[in-house]
Structure 1
């Protein structure tokens, strides 16, 4: 499991896709590959009003990543120090085996490079003590990133505030 955790407060997300755009800009990606995706659920009628929800889907940096196990060249790797799963472009031959192996669709095909790319939590930024590009641009502050124990506390506090607000009604 990754030492880091990236999660979304779905109650705050407005589906603006700024996170996707910032990710593509930071990684210099062409049209096509999306290393994080905002999926729209709905709209559904809640009461008499239509409501849509937006789900942020990055790579989950699995404990036992299928993409790493499937890669025949060792290009798909997991960093031992923090569990971040990434692609070593020098080793990737573009066979797309990792794409087929991942049940979440995290590895994506980059037609310009003829290689696979995926969310690596912006390792270059993490290594400099910064947050991933998608988190820094989030206009509503719905994306949270940090060490697993820190983000667990944030989620607990958010849930407690939500429950307290319900009690006020």
Structure 2
């Protein structure tokens, strides 16, 4: 499992897609592949008010990634030092087996080069001590990136705050 986690505060996301654009620009990707993407949910009526929410989707960097197991050339790999799953473009032959194997749709087809692309948490940036491009470009700050322990603590604190504010709400 990756020692990193990318957390989205769905309460802050406005669906601006800046994260997608920053990701594609960082990886110099053409139209088509989206290593991260915003999925719109809704609109749904909540208390007679239409609401829309946005879910950030990227690779989950699984503990035992199916894409890595399925890859016949060894192009899909998992770094031993931190668990990040990535594509070695020199080994990818474009067979798309990893695309079929991933239940989350993380590997994406790059028609321009005839190979697969996917989120690698911008490991080139991580290796330099920087956050992924999607996180640094997020206009609302809804994306957070860090070690699993840090992100788990942020989630706990956020949940505790929401429970506390709910308990103090008068009806």
Q: Normalising TM by the smaller chain, what interval?
A: over 0.9
State the distance in 2 between where 1:137 and 1:168 align.
Answer: 35
CA-to-aligned-CA distance 1:144-163 (integer Å, 9 cap, x gap):
10000011111111112212
State the distance in 2 between where 1:47 and 1:153 align.
Answer: 31
Partner of 2:77: 77
User: What number of residue pairs does the alignment pair up?
Assistant: 169
Unaligned residue ranges in structure 2 (runs of 5+): none
State the distance in 2 between where 1:118 and 1:66 align.
Answer: 14
How does the TM-score come out when normalised to structure 2?
0.97
Report the more deviating stretch, 152-161 or 42-51. 152-161
Structure 1 residue runs of 4+, over 3 Å off? none
Task: Quote how far apart the aligned CAs of 1:112 are.
Answer: 1.1
State the distance in 1 between where 2:99 and 2:26 align.
Answer: 22
Is 1:112 aligned with 2:105? no
State the distance in 2 between where 1:154 and 1:48 align.
Answer: 31
Is 1:58 aligned with 2:58? yes
The 5-angstrom pairing of residues 14-29 of structure 1 reads 14-29=14-29
Q: CA RMSD in A?
A: 0.7
Partner of 2:146: 146
Report the more deviating stretch, 152-161 or 68-77. 152-161
State the distance in 2 between where 1:23 and 1:155 align.
Answer: 24
State the distance in 2 between where 1:108 and 1:60 align.
Answer: 14
How does the TM-score come out when normalised to structure 1?
0.98
State the distance in 2 between where 1:97 and 1:163 align.
Answer: 44
Partner of 2:45: 45
Unaligned residue ranges in structure 1 (runs of 5+): none
Partner of 2:155: 155
